[in-house]
Each structure stands twice: as structure tokens, then as C-alpha cells.
Amino acid sequence: MKAGVIVFPGSNCDHDAWYAVNENMHDRAEFIWHDSTSLGDIDAVILPGGFSYGDYLRCGAIARFSPVMQAVKKFAADGGLVLGICNGFQILVEAGLLPGALLRNRELKFICREVCLSTDTTASPFTSRLNKGQILRIPIAHGEGQYFADERTLDELESEDRVAFRYVENPNGSARSIAGILSRERNVMGMMPHPERACDPLMGSTDGMGVFESMLASMPTAVPVLS
Amino acid sequence: MKITPELIAQHQLTIAEYDKIVTLLGREPTYTELGIFSVMWSEHCSYKSSRIHLKKLPTTGKYVVQGPGENAGVIGIGGGWVVAFKIESHNHPSYIEPFQGAATGVGGILRDIFTMGARPIAVMDSLRFGPITGTPESAHNRRIVSGVIGGIAHYGNCFGVPTVGGECIFEDCYSANPLVNVFALGVCKENEIFYARASGIGNPVIYVGAKTGRDGIHGASMASAEFTEESKQKRPNVQVGDPFLEKLLLEACLEAMETGAIVAIQDMGAAGLTSSSCEMGSRGSVGIDIDLDLVPQRETGMTAYEMLLSESQERMLLVAEKGREEEVFRVFRKWGLDAVTIGVVTPDGNLRVRHLGHVVAEIPNPALADEAPKYDRPHNVKPHRRAPLDPPAGISAPTDLSADLLRLIASSDLCSKRWIWEQYDYMVRTNTIAGPGSDAAVVRVKETDTSIAMSLDGNGRYCYLDPREGAKLAVAECCRNLATTGAIPVAATNNLNFGNPERPEIMAQLVEAVEGIAEACRFFETPITGGNVSLYNETLGEGIYPTPVLGIIGLMKTAAPAPVRFVREGAELLLLGGFGACDQQRFGSSQYAKVVLGELWGLPPQLDMDYERRVHDAIRAMIEAGIVESAHDLSDGGLAAALAECCTSEIGARVTVPIADRPEQALFGESPSRILVGTGDAARAREIAAKFGVECPRIGATMKVRLQIGSDTHKMLIDLSTSDLTQASETSLPRLLQTQHD
């Protein structure tokens, strides 16, 4: 798998995503600058965490106008895998690739904490190598992570099995404890927790590997992951 | 404008200083020049009261690549890599405007690091506030706490640097003078360090980053005066930070440095454009000519005076190789930042400033830097201390030590600071091996197999009672924190927070503390590679406790350090270093005296540096031997507090302590040189301790759900459930901060 990590001005988890794929997964990742109009030869897109454009106006609201987002939309429409982490999730929501919105945390404070997620579906290229109900220890680090959508959208997400992860203990007031969701076609996932921060035993957890391993496993020319 | 004695006084210059300016220039200064001198000769920029004493500090050692005098100190970590680090204060701005004051404090120290070519990989903070409950100022203090924490979080999180640890203490004396000291550390290759030393006659001087506005004018002089009732009107002197812009500036600077076209670079911090240009010129023994009409400006109609003294944030000044400007501009264009040639390096050694076609200032660089006043202020009196040596009469014997322990670990100083550090992104960049809540923070350097351990420590109470011993204890505690994670201390930075140096009894505190730091840093082989002095921390004539804050870094092989907390039941508990000594006098500086008795008297704990170092050697040897399951150093609150801090909600301990006379002294005395070690191999551990000539009694073992401390005469002293303990510690700070009525 060759992953393209999009770098917006203000992205700051771009290196972490790159490191997780290259060094922890021993796979390949490269950076793509936000004003690129094409993505080049890649198999998956990662929109990393950070504060794109300083999160001014609204998180992700400016980044969605970056030239690269046209290419990302096309890539997604063609069935390519797009993973948005934290600020990346916020951008995907602003860009209309995922439904709902991310509001300020219920306590109105930034929260950095390792949390437990429960795997809600394994029917996706991001979760296929996990077990349903599997608990993952993965950190969150956000000020605006409260997932919000109207009841109809939430019902739809649930009935279409598009909730990827839920918080075991809801840290930020997210609707129905949602931590990550899938697009209707299931090839776009946004999640507030940071799987790239949980790929190295030194960081205290390797549970984030499951997401990247699932992505790798879904590649047409996938090399089986040794476990 | 005519220069009058009033105008000179407004610029916080004395008449003698003004006369020196006239002598150096050979004429009267212009108004603009007066402004330049006032900031460059301010206490904040010139260190005029402290310089002769700072010379006593050790500054060299086998790891030191760059000592004091540059934007940050640099030490080698092996494999061709170095780290740049420094601590700096933003005390005065944080009182006037807590959020922005603290935020720009983070911004300033980060620029000091990346101006050296190093990418910041860790931040820590050392904070002091007034009491957050029970005093008339408490409501205001709570707002300051929230503002400062929010500001640090805002800046560091957005910039993308993890805030990995720190300390936070509350005392009356910091009510109107909170201390916000921020430490930052960055990493780069040894052959890619950049210096702020202009060179190459004819080379262009380039301004990059944010535009210049009227914010922060005279910030440096503000930080060099006592607070008065009018100080709050100085809010416009506090700058406003933009961490997003700083992140762009970081990436652009590092990328521009890679072009090889940059000769020298310096951030515009205190005294902005003035200090960056004259310091770069002065270090390189060259002159710098700048034309203010070329400076990117945020507003119109700014005078030369305003532009030169503006402290607008997120700006840098650099010198590039002539003819290679475009390579630099291209990088900054990519990141959407201004980059403009505003001047040139000259051979004459002068800072020459043009505005609207006229030369508005022309000053020899040495006059501003090297010739700045240097005072040996009187200090031949006893350091200021208004505390008795002996305990106040009527202190009764404790009746409920369990309740005392609960009270202590729920006190604002000792309780869990989770409410603070969860607002910081302490993991971004995925290097944090030990984060907040550890004895020392540990950050790996991915490019090497080395990790950096770091610890900040200061104790105003100890220093108030004895500045020299208090300062030594801070050095010792930092080194102990590092040793507890397995690291070897290698270098230090310090932030000297004191009152008004013009008062001999305050100056005496400063001198004693500096000499104490010098002695201890020499002993522990941790040279000071840079730092900051913050004086005039007084409001209406009342000074803070003398508060030197030490930041010491250590090196270790990258590996997960032993946790602070107990990991299993049935582990044996050893008290490396022994039970220590405490008497009635030394007990007066303890947290028990503060929290339970509400008193301060006596002396700080007694430190034997040689013994201390052997304790460090012993714990490192135990860690190396792989027999340490948990380790926590003893400090505030002594043995009982340390035991409580090691408990999880499931695992506690049963411990026996010899009691000679006063059980509270044995339990809560703060004798240094002690580490609580959990191990499965007590025999081996004790063998190692013996080898280093250090006591290491077995005091008990971990067990389920209770912390029980008994005396050697079979008396139960403390018996608490671990859930009560963790609950008390974890819920305290949010509860205190939500106080509605004092």
C-alpha cells in the first residue's frame, strides 16, 4: 500500500501518520502538499490531524477549499480509501464526504487522553481485521470532537452499519458515543481518535495498527500480514 | 522631541544611565534612540543586576556544544545529533492578560529553539499561582489559572509540540505575581545548527513572518518594573499570539535553512526588531543597516519608535548570502509568509535605522549590548525572610494521620494535575515515552536510539527559608527525577524569578541562590547552558518567594521507563536512600506544615550532595539490572505522599516505618535523596544499594486496595482505601477550580 498523507498549512500529525505507515507498518507513505491538483500514484489517502489553516472560522472549513481536496473527492468517488484522523475527520465532514459535524467538546476544553473504543463494524476496509466489539486503546487529542448529526442521520448511520467506532466512555458528548464513521460506500472513514499514535509499544498501545492493517489487507495486491 | 528628565524616567532609565548614553554616542540621543536604549538596557534584555553573578555558573562540560549567549543552549546526544533547550518566563504578561501572556510565552521560547535550526519536540511548564480558594483574591486567581493553562494549551497544541510535563504550585505570594516559566527542547543535526551571528559585508538582512503592528511596545521594560495599581492598564503591552502562523514560520525557517543560503538568524522576541538586529550585528562584530519603510506593516502611520519597539509575534530576522535571496523568498512564498529584504550587513559596527528617507537612529552595536549597564547591587545583608526558625507555639500533636494524608494529597500543590495536562496535547509527534505525571518526562529522538529525560523543579518555600540550600535542593531533585527514569543528567537551564533587586535583602536572595545553583550544578555535572532572569516580581512592595526554577535534561537509551505507580500486588517495596533525617526545624518547610498546620518556619531539608549522587547511581544500576518494577522519588509530602501517589485504585501497600518520636515527621518529612522502589528482587536491589554505600531498607510490599502504614511498634498510623486516595487526588483540582464562594 502506498499512502498519500496530505499536508495542509497547520497539519501537525502528518509526520506521525507517515511514521506509523513507514516505520511501524513497514509500508510506504509520502507527503502530498495541499496545493497539488493530483494525488499521483497512491493507493490510499490519509488526512492527518492538526490545525489546518489554524482552525480559523471552523475546523476544516478552510482546508476543504484547498486544491488537493478536489483530487481527494475524485479519488473517493472512484472508490479509493480515504482515512481522516481528527482534523482530517473534520475536513471530511466540511467537504461533505461524511455527514454530520464536529462541535466543541461538551466541557469546552481540549482533551488529550487515551480512551477505549469499541469496534462497531468490521464490514469496512478500515476495520476488517478487527473483531466486532473489540476494544481498542487509542488516544484522543481534540478540542472540537463532539460528533453531532440530526436524529435521522444518526439512525441512518446505524441502520446502514456505518458507525465504525464508539467511545466506551463518552469523553466529549458525541452523539450516541460515536468516535468514527464510514461513508455510504464504506471507502471513506473519519475518526477523532488517533490510531497513528497507537502503533508503537513505546507509546503504550499498538491497537491503532488494526486500522492500518485492515487498509493494507483491502488492497487488491495485498500481501498477507503476518501476525 | 526634547529629552527631559521625565521622559528619561518614563523610559525607566536613570540619569546616570542617560549620561552614559550621551557619552557613548558623543551626543544627545534622538527620541527613537532613547526608546532603543530603554529596551536594550532594560533588566529583561541586559541582565544588568544579575550578569556579574551569572558568571559564577558553570557553563561548560563534555556534552555542551553551545553555552549561554545564543538563543538556546545546545548539547550533543551522540550520533551527530544535538538538542537545543532553554527556559523562559512570561510572568508579567501572564498576570496582565493570562491567556495571551502565557500563549506568547510558549511562542517566544519555541522561536528561540527553532531559530537554532532545531525542531521543537517538547515543552514543559513551571507555574506558580496564588491560592485558588479561601482568599479574597482566589476568584481572580482561578481566572488566571484557567487563562494561563488555556493559553499554553492553545499555542502548543496548535503549533504541534507536545507539552510533556511540568509543575504547578500555589502560594499567597504569587497572587499578584503569578510565575509562568516555559521550557522547550528541540532536536537537530550537529552540523546544521544555526547561530545568530551576522556576517558577510553586503549580505542582505531579511525580515520574515508576521507583519509589524503596534502590539507589545515596551513589553521588555514592563517586565522590568514592579507592579502598581496602574499595571492593568498595560494590557495593550501584551502581545497577541498566532500559533498557526508560528507553525508556518517553523516549517518555512527549517526549509529555508536547508537551502544553505542562510548565514544567521534570530527571532524577534523582547524588543523585537531592535534587539534582533543589534544582537546579530554585535555577535558578528558587524553593523546592520535597516530601512523601516520596507518592513511589512499591519497598520499605517507607525513611527520609527513604534516599529523598532513593537513586540508583534511570529517574526524572524535573518541574514542571507548575497545573490541567493530568491532561494529564501521561494520557501517563504510557499508557506504564504512575508519575506522582505529590509537592510544590509555593514562593516562599521553600527545599528543604523532609516525611516522616510532619514536616519532616525545610529548607535554602535556594542553600546547596546556589551556596554549595557552592569550593576553590583548591594547584597551584604541577610536574605529577606520573615519566618521564625522555631515552630510557633501551640502546634498540637496529630490526632488523625489518615485524614492528614488525605488532606495533603487533595491539596492544590500535591493533587493530580490531570485537569491541567489533559488540556495539553502531550503526545503529538509520537515521541512521548513518559508524559505528565511521571517523575521526569521522557521523549525519544526517533533518529537515534537515545531519549531525552527532562525535569523542572523549584521550591519557593525552601528558598525563602534558605535561598542557597533551596536552590541546591532544586538541582538535586531534578537530577533525582532523571535518575529515577534511568537517565544521566547532562545539562541544565534556569529561570531565576525574584523580587526587586534594588532591595539589598532581595539581591541577597538572588546571589545566594545563584551560588547554590552553581555549587550543585558543578557537583552534579550539569552545566547551565542558558536561561532567563525575571526580576521585579513584586506588587505594591511585596515580593514573591525567591523562586529559582531549574530545568535539567538527561540522556538515556530509548526504552520504556519504570512507571511511577505500583504495577502488581506482592511486589517488595524498598526505600532507597533510607528514612532520612527530619527534625522540628526542618519540618517547618514541609507541605505538612503548609497544608495541615498552615505555618512556615525553620529550614529546608538537609542535603548531602555526595549521598544524593550515590542514590542516583544506585537507582540507575537497579534499572539497568532490570529489577525495578516501579520507582518514584520522594519530595513534597515525604514518604506518605509518595506512597499515596504510587497507589492505583486497585493496588496499595502495607508498609512499616520506624518512629522515633514524632510520627508526622517520619511520614511527611521531606528529607531528600530517597526513592521508593518496587521490585521482585529485593536481595539484588539491596546488594546494588550496598555497593554504592546507600541505605535501602525493605519497608513492606504492595497489596490489594488499601494503603496501610504502621509503626515499628505495631501501631497502625495510616489506613486508607486506595479508591479513597485516588479519588481525593484526582477530583481535587477541578473541584477547587469550580469554587463559587470563597
B653 in Cβ contact with B700 (< 8 Å): yes
- Domain assignment of residue A91, yes or no: yes
Sheet holding B488-497, edge to edge: B432-434, B441-444, B450-457, B547-557, B488-497, B528-534
> Which of A175, A117, A186 lies closest to A145 in space, CA to CA?
A175
Q: How far is A184 from chain B (nearest CA, A)?
A: 31
Q: Which residues of A touch B333 (CB under 8 A)?
A: none
Q: Which residues contact B79 (CB under 8 A, 6 or more apart)?
A: B447, B448, B449, B450
Q: Which grid coordinates belong to A38?
A: 493530483
Contact list, B429 vs chain A (CB under 8 Å)? 15-16
Beta bridge partners of B350: B364
Q: Which of A12, A201, A202 sits opposite B160 (nearest CB)?
A: A12
- pLDDT above 60 for B283: yes
In a domain, A86, yes or no: yes
* Coil, helix or strand at residue B509: helix
Q: Minimal Cα–Cα distance from A9 to chain B, Å?
A: 7
Is residue A127 in a domain? yes
Partner-chain contact B427 A197, CB within 8 Å? yes
Collect all residues with Cβ–Cβ distance below 8 Å to B19 and sequence separation of at least 6.
Answer: none
Residue B70 pairs in a beta bridge with B68
Question: Confidence band (pLDDT; 50, 70, 90) for B20?
Answer: very high
Residue A166 lies in a domain: yes
State the SS3 of B632-692: EECCCCHHHHHHHHHCCCCEEEEEEECCCCCHHHHHHCCCCCCEEEEECCHHHHHHHHHHC
Shortest Cα–Cα distance, A220 to chain B (Å): 30
Which positions ≥6 away from B659 have C-beta within 8 Å? B666, B711, B712, B713, B715, B717
Question: Which is the catalytic residue, given A94, A144, A196, A213?
Answer: A196
* B158/B740: higher pLDDT: B158
Cell numbers describing residue B368: 547596546
- Which residues does chain A have within 8 Å of residue B160's beta carbon, measured at their own beta carbons? 12-13, 50-51
Residue-number span of the structural domain to which A149 is assigned:
2-217
Contacts of B436 in chain A (CB under 8 A): none
Catalytic residues of B: 44, 90
Q: Model confidence over B343-379: pLDDT tens digits?
A: 999 999 999 999 999 999 999 999 998 899 999 999 9
**Helical H runs in B430-578?**
460-465, 467-484, 504-523
Q: Which of the two residues, B86 and A220, has the higher pLDDT score?
A: B86
Our measurement of the distance from residue B425's CA atom to the centroid of its chain's CA atoms, rounded to an integer in Å, reads 19
Residue with cell 507509546: A203
- Show residues of chain A in contact with B433, CB under 8 Å: 202-203
pLDDT tens, A163-213?
Answer: 999 999 999 999 999 999 999 999 999 999 999 999 999 999 999 999 999
Examine the pLDDT at B247 and tell me if it is beyond 90. Answer: yes
pLDDT of residue A220: 80
Residue A223 lies in a domain: no
Q: Is residue A86 annotated as a catalytic residue, yes or no?
A: yes
Asked about A196 being catalytic, the answer comes back as yes
B629 grid coordinates: 518494577
Minimal Cβ distance to A202: which of B242, B245, B433: B433
pLDDT at B233: 58
Query: Looking at beta carbons, which residues of chain A come within 8 Å of B335?
Result: 9
Confidence band of B232 (pLDDT split at 50, 70, 90) = low
The answer to whether position A38 is within a domain reads yes
In whole angstroms, what is the distance from residue B463 CA to residue B559 CA?
35
Alpha carbon of B455: minimum distance to chain A alpha carbons (Å):
20
Q: What is the largest CA-CA distance in chain B?
A: 88
What pLDDT does residue B230 have? 59
Q: Which residues of B touch A63 (CB under 8 A)?
A: none
Could you write out the DSSP letters of every residue in A158-213?
HHTT-EEEEESS-SS--GGGEEEEE-TTS-EEEESS-GGGSSBGGGTB-TTHHHHH
The answer to whether B424 contacts chain A (CB < 8 Å) is: yes
In a mutational test of the B interface, the residue from A7, A8, A12 whose CB has the highest number of chain B CBs within 10 Å is: A12
Does the CA dihedral A103-A195-B155-B153 come out positive or negative? positive
Closest chain A residue to B428 measured between Cα atoms? A13
Return the pLDDT at B288.
96
Instruction: State the average pLDDT for chain A.
Output: 96
Q: Say whether residue B91 is in contact with chain A using an 8 A CB cutoff.
A: no
* CB pair distance less than 8 Å for B160 and A54: no
Q: From the candidates A13, A59, A86, A199, give the one annotated as an active-site residue.
A: A86
Angle between helices B504-523 and B609-624 (to 10 degrees): 40
What is the CATH number for A81? 3.40.50.880
**What pLDDT does B618 receive?**
98
Q: How far apart are CA A122 and CA B44, in angstroms?
A: 60
Residues 147-186 of B with CB under 8 A from A: 153, 157-160
CA B650 to chain CA mean position, Å: 35
Q: At what angle do helices B504-523 and B467-484 cross, to 10 degrees?
A: 30
Measured at the alpha carbon of residue B162, what is the angle toward residues B558 and B189, in degrees to the nearest 5? Answer: 55
* Residue A199 lies inside a defined structural domain of this protein: yes
Which among B427, B444, B446 has CB closest to A112? Answer: B427
Separation between Cα atoms, residue A83 and residue A3, nearest integer Å: 10
- In terms of C-beta distances under 8 Å and separation of at least 24 residues, what long-range contacts does B131-137 make, across chains too? B131/B170, B131/B171, B131/B172, B131/B175, B131/B412, B132/B170, B132/B412, B132/B736, B132/B737, B132/B739, B133/B412, B133/B736, B133/B739, B133/B742, B134/B742, B135/B172, B135/B175, B135/B742, B136/B742, B137/B175, B137/B176
Q: What is the maximal distance between C-alpha atoms in chain A?
A: 45
Say how far apart CA B670 and CA B683 lie, in whole Å.
26
Q: Specify if A225 maps to a domain.
A: no
CA distances from B453 to B321, B555, B626, B648 (A): 38, 6, 19, 24
For B683, the grid coordinates are: 536481595
Chain A interface, best mutation among B425, B433, B444, B448, by max A CB count within 10 A: B425
Residue A224 has pLDDT above 60, yes or no: no
The helix or strand, by DSSP H or E, that contains position B112, with its residue range, turns out to be: helix B98-114
Inter-chain touch B423–A110, beta carbons under 8 Å:
yes
Q: What CA–CA distances, in Å, run from B631 to A146, B413, B449, B539, B567?
A: 37, 21, 23, 41, 10
Residues of chain A neighbouring B432 (CB-CB closer than 8 A) = 203
Q: Is A36 helix (H, G, I), strand (E, B) or coil?
A: coil
* Total domains in the fold of chain A: 1
Query: Does the distance separating the beta carbons of B430 and A16 come in below 8 Å?
Result: yes
Cell representation of residue B668:
511527611
Three cell numbers at B674? 530517597
* pLDDT tens, residue by residue, B400-455: 999 999 999 999 999 999 999 999 999 999 999 999 999 999 999 999 999 999 99
The beta-carbon neighbor of B560 closest among A49, A199, A202 is A202
Query: Which pLDDT does position B216 carry in this prediction?
Result: 74
The whole-number pLDDT of residue B220 equals: 61
**A227 — pLDDT class (breaks 50, 70, 90):** very low
Count how many residues are written for chain B. 742
Name B525's Cβ contacts closer than 8 Å, sequence gap at least 6. B61, B489, B490
d(CA B545, CA A118): 50
CA distance B423 to chain A (A): 5
Per-residue pLDDT tens for A41-91?
999 999 999 999 999 989 999 999 999 999 999 999 999 999 999 999 999
pLDDT score for B739: 86
The answer to whether B145 touches B217, Cβ cutoff 8 Å, is no
B421: nearest CA in chain A? A112
pLDDT digits 0-9 by tens, B179-218:
999 999 999 999 999 999 999 999 999 999 999 998 877 6
Q: Minimal Cα–Cα distance from B563 to chain A, Å?
A: 12
CA atoms within a 13 Å half-sphere pointing along the CA-CB vector of A72: 32
| Band of pLDDT at residue B632, cut at 50, 70 and 90 | very high
> Distance (Å, rounded) from C-alpha B563 to C-alpha B710?
25
Query: Among B679, B592, B174, which residue's Cα sits nearest to residue B411?
Result: B592
Q: Is B17 exposed, middle or buried (0-12, 13-18, 19+ CB in 10 A)?
A: middle
Tell me the chain A residues in contact with residue B157 when contact means C-beta distances shorter than 8 Å.
Answer: 51, 110, 141, 143
Cβ-contact A17, A87 below 8 angstroms = no
Q: Evaluate whether B553 touches B660 at the Cβ level (below 8 Å).
A: no
Contact B425 A19 (CB under 8 A): no
Q: Does B425 touch chain A (CB under 8 A)?
A: yes
Are the Cβ atoms of A112 and B422 closer than 8 angstroms? yes
Asked if pLDDT for residue B143 goes beyond 50, the answer is yes
In angstroms, the CA B55 to CA B41 distance is 18
Residue in chain A nearest B245 by alpha carbon: A54
